[in-house]
Amino acid sequence: MFSLVAFIPRAVQQGIPLLFGSTGETITEKSGNLNLGIPGVMYVGAICGVIGAFFYEQSVPSGDLNGFLAVFIPLLCSLAGSFLMGLLYCYLTVSLRSNQNVTGLAMTTFGIGFGNFFGGSLIKLAGADVPSISLSQTSAYFSKTLPLASQTGWFGKIFLSYGFLAYVAIIISLIAAFVLKKTRTGLHLRAVGEDPATADAAGINVTKYKYIATCLGCMIAGLGGLYYVMDYACGVWSNDAFGDRGWLAIALVIFTIWKTDVGIFSSILFGGLYILYLYLPSGTHTEYKELYKMIPYVVTLVVLVITSMHNKRENQPPHSLGTNYFREER
Amino acid sequence: MNNNEIAVSLRNITKTFVGTVLANNNVNLDIKKGEILSLLGENGSGKTTLMNMLSGIYHPDAGQIIINGKEVTINSPRDAFALGIGMVHQHFKLIDIFNATENIVLGLDGKLNLAEAEKKIKAICDKYGFEINTNKKIYDMSVSEKQTVEIVKVLFRGAEILILDEPTAVLTPQETEHLFQVMRNMKEDGKSIVIITHKLNEIQSISDRVAVLRQGEFIGDMKTSDSTIKEMTDMMVGHAVSLNIDRPEPVDPQPRIKVENLTVIDEEGVVKLDNVSFTANRGEILGIAGISGCGQKELLRAIAGLEIVKEGKITYIHRDGRTEELLGMSPREISELGVKLSFVPEDRLGMGLVGNMNIADNMMLRSYRKGNSRFFTDKKTPRDLAEKVVDQLQVATPSLDTPVRQLSGGNVQKVLVGREIASEPRVLLTAYAVRGLDINSSYQIYDLINQQKALGAAVIFVGEDLDVLVELCDRILVLCEGRVTGIVDGRTTDKYTLGSMMTQKGEA
């Protein structure tokens, strides 16, 4: 039977990778960079974490894992991997001024290939008979729930039953919303995304803001990949398992009209919609499931239609989104 | 005025842009403390480039900048602000979705405290006589309000040297008067102001000294009080020019286009044109005056068949008295009726021409349906026309194959006007035909328009420079927020009458 208390935690777990992805992409887009490489970045973030965790688990005897290192090493590897992806994107689009769409799509293809290649290599190294690697020891640290989660009934289940990265995602999106809205850095970043020439004339270092926002955005998005493998998938990496969640994260940016705090609830809603097909009765008609899986995308299209019709200036994408800035152009 | 201390000294400044000519060549210029200096020059003479180097947008290839006796390097606008230099660009550098305060504090350091910033803005406004609504979003502002925000932004940073790039181009005479009053207040306060402008009478009324640039070189400077408009123009152009715009008497003016009760409402439900009626005669130039965005664009687009009209009638009257209803027809249907209508839109490289195509191909945008073959386009005729236009209108272009986007504003406009008048139009619609053009190019355009008038076309000329409207047009229709506030005779009116008609609704 359908139970809300069981459904919400699952929706949240589905939503957290999306929240990481959309927060990262929103920060990136606020600088005027349309990074369509986010799905690839999330793959890279995930596989780098897996690589780190794999070698750490291999290097110490089973059961002797240091809790801090077991979290710290994959985290650092994941951040480093997605940071490099961000740096690559910035170098191509900001410094070399290549087309943002092409660069982003290429990076997505690259990132997924990168993930699958190293994923496949690790599976070979591990010599497993199933096409996946299981890092259950590391995963145990990542998915450790808050204390009291099991003793507080439905409250604990809905609010306390997640690994630490889930709370990190929410905190990051709240901080991002605050920074964007209330601080000078946020004001400057929004200015860069709206009209880089104006920001430049006001003495803002456009290149610096674009680099930092994009790299930071990639690192945050990469954590989404890490959360997916280590917490949601219980430390099991198998190729292509992450699926199209990266695209959903980009759709979520539009859905939240570029507001990261709105993203918290929207991502959970999207997560819920994403798994809704498991709960809707479809009997023997499996084709209905495929229709249900479309719901999040249909919702995004509806939101796009509504925000475009409303035409409120503040709810539009950053004005310079997708275009590169070159100062001495005349 | 009170002393002769030099605030800024530019020495042997040279700047070249990749692939183009020298923008500035060995320019020497001094700006004194407490003076208003006019910088005069044709388009492409390097005024804006020179000032952009002072404000840190560009970096000179060679030469020195000396401020208050010290040689400095200005690498960024930030450096310029630190030295007390602030520039108000011709195209405003404001973020549309921010309000006035957010725009003013943009780029500064320290903790963001909008309440405190607002207090400081109020103090600046009171001191110099600005009016500003700090919470208003830029996209809701009029051009004049935006300009105020720009100037306050510069003063907020403590600028001692202000550069204003064509500040009056978009203002009504009343707004211009107010701006000049503010500028005088700032001068009294000891600030140096550089104003770049094409309008010679404004130079005379506001500035202490005028410096002239021609083709990137410094030609000379003089005290405004000792020089005449004629001297300034001759110096700017390099040879003597006539400053009067011809206005030949209309020959046999008969109604050509009759607009009745035209109402246009845009997608958001804003009334753009409200019950507009008038007649445009052949052999006559009908000027349209108004603050920008008061329905001029919609009016021309409606006549050209490009606007969705709520109600009204637009009747075309043939020479033999037959009439055609143009409303509800597409531009193609209009031309198939045999109505020769030409439209020079304000957005030259957006609506008028395709920037990445060359001159010949742009000519073809008008004639692509012509030719002998059903499948292949006729490239020869447009190419001949392009050659003719380049030749007759003296378009400065490396070749016919140069993409028009690489041409200067004046030359782009000549290509567009040349194409439009080549079809011998019976109705010629022009929107801001000389916007951004220098004196020489402007006069060439006026001549072309006068030729069409003499050939019996009905010309509708939407303009922003009221001096020009008063000198060029036979009759002038004034629009204010989509309504006609009057149609006056160009020979008897003056710009102050027009100016108050343009703002009538606001004052009433």
Structure tokens at A283: 């009997």
CA geometry: angle B249, B252, B255, nearest 5 deg: 110
- ipTM here: 0.86
Sign of CA dihedral B384, B385, B387, B388: positive
- C-alpha span between A17 and A166 (Å, rounded): 9
Whose tokens are 């103090």? That residue is B123
Residue B418, domain member (yes or no): no
* Position B367 pLDDT exceeds 50: yes
Mention every residue, 6+ apart, whose C-beta is less than 8 A from residue B417.
B344, B393, B430, B433, B445, B448
* Position A239 pLDDT exceeds 50: yes
Q: pLDDT above 90 covers what percent of chain B?
A: 40
Whose tokens are 């110096």? That residue is B235
- Residues in chain A closer than 8 A to B17 (CB atoms): 328, 330
Q: Which CATH architecture has domain A10-315?
A: Orthogonal Bundle (1.10)
- Between the alpha carbon of residue B395 and those of residues B348, B350, B384, B389, B401, the distances in Å are 15, 20, 15, 7, 13
Residue B60, domain member (yes or no): yes
pLDDT tens readout for residues A56-65: 998 988 778 8
- Residues in chain A closer than 8 A to B56 (CB atoms): 203
Together in a domain, B34 and B118: yes
CB-nearest to A314 from B55, B97, B112 is B97
- pLDDT mean over B200-224: 89
What pTM does this model have?
Answer: 0.78
Q: What's the gap in Å between the CA of A295 and the closest CA on chain B?
A: 31
**Residue B420 near residue B344, CB atoms below 8 Å:** yes
More confident residue, B405 or B363: B363
pLDDT tens readout for residues B108-167: 888 889 999 999 999 999 999 888 999 999 988 888 899 999 999 999 998 999 999 888
Q: What's the gap in Å between the CA of B214 and the closest CA on chain A?
A: 19
Q: How many domains does chain B have?
A: 2
- Residues in chain B closer than 8 A to A203 (CB atoms): 56, 76-78, 81, 107
Q: Which of B182, B208, B237 is the last residue of a domain?
A: B237
Query: Which ranges of B83-113 does DSSP label H, i.e. alpha helix?
Result: 100-105
Q: Looking at chain B, which residue has its C-alpha nearest residue A195?
A: B95
Together in a domain, B262 and B204: no
pLDDT tens readout for residues B256-275: 999 999 999 887 788 889 99
Together in a domain, B224 and B154: yes
Whole domain around residue B105: which residue ranges? 6-237
- C-alpha span between B343 and A5 (Å, rounded): 66
Q: Looking at chain B, which residue has its C-alpha nearest residue A203?
A: B78
At B480 the three-state DSSP class reads strand
The mean predicted confidence, pLDDT, of chain B is 87
CATH number at B229 reads 3.40.50.300
- pLDDT mean over A273-302: 82
Q: Looking at chain B, which residue has its C-alpha nearest residue A202?
A: B107
Residue B257, domain member (yes or no): yes
Together in a domain, B322 and B431: yes
- Contacts by residues B405-410 (CB-CB < 8 Å, ≥ 24 positions apart): B405/B349, B405/B355, B405/B356, B408/B43, B408/B44, B409/B43, B409/B348, B409/B436, B409/B437, B410/B43, B410/B436, B410/B437, B410/B438, B410/B440, B410/B441
Other Cβ atoms less than 10 A from the Cβ of A115: the count is 27
Together in a domain, B222 and B256: no
Model confidence band, residue B1 (pLDDT cutoffs 50, 70, 90): very low
Residue A136 burial by Cβ neighbours in a 10 Å radius (0-12, 13-18, 19+): exposed
Q: What's the residue count for chain B?
A: 508
Together in a domain, B149 and B298: no
The region of weakest confidence among A15-24, A82-91, A188-197, B218-227 is B218-227
Beta carbons of A191 and B111 less than 8 Å apart: no
Facing residues of B262 across strands?
A: B276
* Position B337 pLDDT exceeds 60: yes
pLDDT tens readout for residues A168-216: 999 999 999 999 999 999 999 999 999 998 998 888 999 999 999 999 9
CB-nearest to B106 from A191, A311, A330 is A191
Together in a domain, B118 and B267: no
What pLDDT does residue B3 have? 53
What pLDDT does residue B171 have? 79
Together in a domain, B206 and B270: no
Q: Which of B237, B260, B288 is the last residue of a domain?
A: B237
* Position B506 pLDDT exceeds 60: no
Beta carbons of A201 and B57 less than 8 Å apart: yes
What pLDDT does residue A70 have? 92
Together in a domain, B24 and B116: yes
Together in a domain, B96 and B18: yes
* Position A37 pLDDT exceeds 70: yes
pLDDT tens readout for residues B436-471: 777 777 888 898 899 999 999 999 999 888 888 999
Residue B72, domain member (yes or no): yes
pLDDT tens readout for residues B17-51: 765 567 888 999 999 999 999 998 876 688 888 99
- C-alpha span between B344 and A219 (Å, rounded): 51
CB-nearest to A198 from B93, B110, B112 is B93
Structure tokens at B22: 């020298």
Q: Which of B206, B237, B268 is the last residue of a domain?
A: B237
- Residues in chain B closer than 8 A to A257 (CB atoms): none
More confident residue, A329 or B466: B466
* Position B58 pLDDT exceeds 80: yes
Together in a domain, B165 and B229: yes
Residue B370, domain member (yes or no): no
What pLDDT does residue B194 have? 95
More confident residue, A66 or A24: A24
What pLDDT does residue B5 have? 84
Residue B90: CA count within 13 A, CB half-sphere: 14
Phi, psi (degrees; rounded to nearest 5) at B132: -150, 140
**Residue B310 near residue B265, CB atoms below 8 Å:** yes
- Residues in chain A closer than 8 A to B81 (CB atoms): 203
Together in a domain, B129 and B258: no
Q: What's the gap in Å between the CA of A184 and the closest CA on chain B?
A: 5
* Position B2 pLDDT exceeds 50: no
Residue B153, domain member (yes or no): yes
- pLDDT mean over A136-146: 89
B220: part of which helix (H) or strand (E)?
strand B217-223
The mean predicted confidence, pLDDT, of chain A is 90
